[in-house]
Structure 1
Amino acid sequence: MDTRRVTATDAALALIEKLKKRHGDLMFHQSGGCCDGSAPMCYQRGELQVGDQDVLLGEIGDTPFYMSASQFDYWKHTQLIIDVVDGRGGMFSLEGPEGKRFLTRSRLFTDEEWQQIKGDDGPSFTAVASRPLPT
């Protein structure tokens, strides 16, 4: 049973490592559909300021992955699986010059996984506190 909120494919993890060698520590933010659609955006850590309305979902490749609280409320029953495909991605995301783009795939948590995530008597996962990372 895998109850992580966000995971990554081997191809995505390999690209993350390549980008870390070039740019240093990284961070992700799941875009909410503005300039770059709803793509996972990769930045140098600290380049995008996270705030009180951002939720830390977890880490992929030792890299924090954030999403806005409002978007998380919509996706809370879902595991995000970050993958990479050929093509041009978001103009602000670091993988663009590689001819690759990060892509979010998803799957619904099973009933058993969801019960484990939210706990028998606890609140839903939306109570997670957001935490800005130090730069």
Structure 2
Amino acid sequence: MPETPPRVSATPAARDLIAEICRDVPDILFHQSGGCCDGSSPMCYPADDFKVGERDVKLGTIDGVPVYISASQFEVWKHTQLILDVVPGRGGMFSLDNGREKRFLTRSRVFTEDELKSLGD
């Protein structure tokens, strides 16, 4: 059986921005936005400023930083690996990447059939 792939990963640029933010705010988390004002951006918050919902799904961690998504959105995206990346621009209004002239962006790739089997989906 193939090794179980992570549900979430990050590019080197995203890891660098996470490290930069953690120098200012050591305890952070991500919540994958479901749309509305900030599109579908991964939102980065101080961990004590965001209440994780009881139905939110923890996708995994990036360098020790937890990444969550709502249960309903997870059902739509569970066949994909989410990849945190960084692009030029402004982050979401309440996201910690705001004001850094770069923002997080979620990319994705569809899991292979073997990977889905190893994930139990």
Class of the TM-score when normalised by the shorter of the 2 chains: over 0.9
| Unpaired segments ≥5 residues, structure 1 | 119-123, 125-135
The TM-score normalised by the length of structure 2 is 0.94
Aligned partner of 1:42 among 41, 44, 59: 44
Query: Between the two proteins, what is the percent identity of the paired residues?
Result: 56
Distance 1:12 1:2 in 2: 22
Match of 2:21 in 1: 19
One-letter code aligned to 1:100: K
In structure 2, the gaps of 5 or more residues are none
For the aligned residue pairs, the C-alpha RMSD in angstroms reads 1.1
Cα deviation 1:37-62 (Å, max 9, x = unaligned): 11000011121101112111100121
Inter-partner Cα distance in structure 1 for 2:43 and 2:53: 16
How many residue pairs match? The answer is: 119
Deviation track 1:81-129 (CA, whole Å, cap 9, x = no partner) reads 00001111211110111101000000000011111110xxxxx3xxxxx
For the pair 1:113 / 2:112, whether they are aligned, the reply is no
Q: Which amino acid aligns with 1:28?
A: F
Give the secondary-structure state (helix, strand or coil) at the position aligned to 1:106: strand
Moved more, 70-79 or 82-91: 82-91
Tell me what 1:121 maps to: none
Kindly report which structure 2 residues correspond to 1:1-135, keeping only aligned pairs within 5 A, or say none: 3-118=5-120, 124=121
